[in-house]
Amino acid sequence: MIVQKSPYPYWFVMPAAVVFSVLFLAPTLASLWFSLTRWDLFSAQFIGLENYRQFLREPFLIQGLINTVIYAFATSATKSVFGLLLAVLLTSGIWAQGFLRAVIFFPVLVSTIGVGITFSVLMHPTNGVINVALSAIGIPGPGWLTDPALALYSIILVDFWKGLGLATLIYIAGLASISPDYYEAARIDGATRTQMFFRVTVPLVRPATVTVVTLSLIGGLRSFDLIWAMTRGGPGFSSDVLASVIYKQYQAGFYGLSTAGNVILFLLIGLIILPMTAWFNRKEVDL
Amino acid sequence: MTRRQFYTGVISLAVAGVIFILPFVFVLLTAVKTKQDAALLTFSWPVEWHFLDNLTEVLRTRNYMLLLAYFNSTVITVCSVTLLVLFGAMVGYVLQRRPSGWNKVIYAFVLAGLMIPPAVVPTIWILQSVGLFKTLTGMVFIQVAYGLAFSVLLFRSFIATIPRDLDEAAIIDGAKPWQIFFRVILPLLKPVTVTVIVVQSISIFNDFTNPLYYLPGRENVTVQLTLYNFQGQFQTQFNLLFMNILLVTIPPLIVFVFFNRQIVAGMTAGAVKG
């Protein structure tokens, strides 16, 4: 028997596999061990679950955990709802449609740090453009980034501003794949515009919804740079999220604790995304 | 176009203009103001235009740090995108052409790569032990490791559209595996390659978090790190800070104007069930 060599050799995969294993898989596996230690990069002392216990005991660390979940769900929900509405608007043949798509999409490509700095200036409590404009029409503007109860939501608003274009774009691609026959049939049956939206568009644009929700949830759970550019997690710890806590613990030299934060973030993403994906796949619609 | 579509368009454009365009106009106007004028933070026409003064002053800051940053960012972006195209195409090719038990494993890793947040401190530990911490080379490999999953997915689905007959013809002609890939397949991947190049370049050029962790130190600054450092230094010189923001915003704007279609293709991959 002649063993024929495949024309698709596995060594093609090797260079990528080496880089990915050494710089991504190995650190991920190592993090499980180092999160159980007190660690200074040279020697690691096993301390069991002490880092995790500390994470769940310190009020500001728990605050970070809660903020992460709020941030991810708020950005994901707003982006998917408004993304779909905008996509419907921008495929309805209105004037300057192409230009509008470009305008809404451009912030996606811009530096997050640049956006963060710009908006922290626009949101300045007394001199910022937003509050000056609000007071001109008689509304006292809030301390967007200085009020601890509001800071996180102001950053969420900016994240929404920056990411809406991507959600819209994905929905536009999704809408384009729906056959016009469905709308034609619905129209003959006498469906109203609202009925068509909820009975035809929403169910059939589902693959796009899955993409938007999944991408923005993962992005939201991991988000760091916008928050870091705008508030550094402040005032106090009011806008800290897991990723900023991880960075702060790293800066302070608590490498074990920082790594435990990483593992918690990893588990949180898994606990939210995996059941959701399973649920999305089960409820597949057949039309 | 009906009257209704026209007026809806006009209103939408007005609203989008205020929400999405005015912030960029604000950046532009503040960037050309004098120091005193910019410190007022107002949305107003500059009293005097100081475009060139501000530009040269920003470039000269900290011994031409911004020029060094542009150099470093360009090197990192070009090198890592080159590797991402090569590695992504090779993996996507084998993955699509050779179904086997390994494919499930590779897919699991691809999904893990898209989902799992990198474990930063252990990564630093590994980079240190192989002597790549705080080096541009290390940064390039990090970007490759983190961007690989996305590249593989895009290449795999594009390669599925290339008929196997081409491979077979090359095999009959006696081509070796690497010849089939580099001479026959790779040239046909141009559309998806452009998409990967554009999308990955933007995300690597704009990356802040990874250089912050893996590339500390003055001589290694990247464009985004410089902007972040200037935020502290230019507390009272908003004109210079915004000139810097303007400079960071221009490269993506140029790419956007020329590669709009490829960006859209890359970023909406997966929206349609396929």
Q: What is the pLDDT of residues A106-126, one digit of tens each?
A: 999 999 999 999 999 999 988
| pLDDT value, residue A7 | 84
| pLDDT exceeds cutoff 90 at A56 | no
- What is the token pair recorded at A13? 């995969």
Nearest to A95 among B6, B227, B238 (CB): B6
Among B2, B121, B237, the strongest candidate for a mutation testing the A interface, having the largest count of A CBs within 10 A, is B121
Q: Tell me if A200 is assigned to some domain.
A: yes
Q: How much of chain B exceeds pLDDT 70, in percent?
A: 98
The interface predicted TM-score of the complex, written ipTM, equals 0.90
| pLDDT exceeds cutoff 90 at B274 | no
Which residues, 6 or more positions from A282, have their beta carbon under 8 angstroms from its beta carbon? none
Among A38, A90, A95, A132, the strongest candidate for a mutation testing the B interface, having the largest count of B CBs within 10 A, is A95
Mind telling me how many Å the CA of A149 is from chain B's nearest CA?
24
Residue B126: its chain A contacts at CB < 8 A?
22-23, 26-27, 30
Helix (H) or strand (E) holding A44: strand A44-46
Q: Which residues pair with A46 in a beta bridge?
A: A37
Instruction: Give the span between the Cα atoms of B98 and B111, in whole angstroms.
Output: 19
Mind telling me how many Å the CA of B6 is from chain A's nearest CA?
5
Tens of pLDDT, residue by residue over A229-246, are 999 988 988 999 999 999
| pLDDT exceeds cutoff 80 at A93 | yes
**Region B20-34: what's the mean pLDDT?**
93
Cβ(A84)–Cβ(A171) below 8 Å: yes
Instruction: Give the span between the Cα atoms of B159 and B171, in whole angstroms.
Output: 17
| pLDDT exceeds cutoff 60 at B128 | yes
Where exactly are the structural domains of chain B?
65-267
| pLDDT value, residue A10 | 86
Residue A124: its chain B contacts at CB < 8 A?
41
A149 touches chain B (CB under 8 A): no
| pLDDT value, residue A48 | 84
Q: How confident is the model at residue A2 (pLDDT cuts 50, 70, 90)?
A: low
Tens of pLDDT, residue by residue over B240-269, are 999 999 999 999 999 999 988 888 888 777
CATH (domain of A58): 1.10.3720.10
Q: How confident is the model at residue A285 (pLDDT cuts 50, 70, 90)?
A: low
Q: Tell me if A5 is assigned to some domain.
A: no
| pLDDT exceeds cutoff 50 at B226 | yes
A residues 12-51 closer than 8 Å to B (CB): 12-13, 15-17, 19-20, 22-28, 30-31, 34, 39, 41
| pLDDT exceeds cutoff 60 at B29 | yes
Q: How confident is the model at residue A3 (pLDDT cuts 50, 70, 90)?
A: low
Instruction: Give the span between the Cα atoms of B232 and B261, in whole angstroms.
Output: 37
The whole domain housing A65 covers 50-280
Q: How much of chain A exceeds pLDDT 70, in percent?
A: 97
Mean pLDDT across chain A: 90
| pLDDT value, residue A283 | 63
Instruction: Give the span between the Cα atoms of B221 and B136, in whole angstroms.
Output: 10
**Region A39-46: what's the mean pLDDT?**
84
CB contact under 8 Å between B119 and A218, yes or no, is no
Tens of pLDDT, residue by residue over A109-168, are 999 999 999 999 999 988 899 999 999 998 888 989 999 999 999 999 999 999 999 999
Which residues, 6 or more positions from B265, have their beta carbon under 8 angstroms from its beta carbon? B191, B195
As to burial, measured by CB atoms within 10 angstroms (0-12 exposed, 13-18 middle, 19+ buried), residue A267 is: exposed
| pLDDT value, residue B273 | 44
Query: In chain A, how many domains are there?
Result: 1
- C-alpha angle A203/B273/A186, rounded to 5°? 35
Phi, psi of A44 (to 5 degrees): -120, 130
Q: Where does B65-267 sit in CATH, by number?
A: 1.10.3720.10
| pLDDT value, residue A4 | 62
Instruction: Give the span between the Cα atoms of B80 and B215, in whole angstroms.
Output: 15
Which residues, 6 or more positions from A242, have their beta carbon under 8 angstroms from its beta carbon? A64, A65, A68, A221, A261, A264, A265, A268
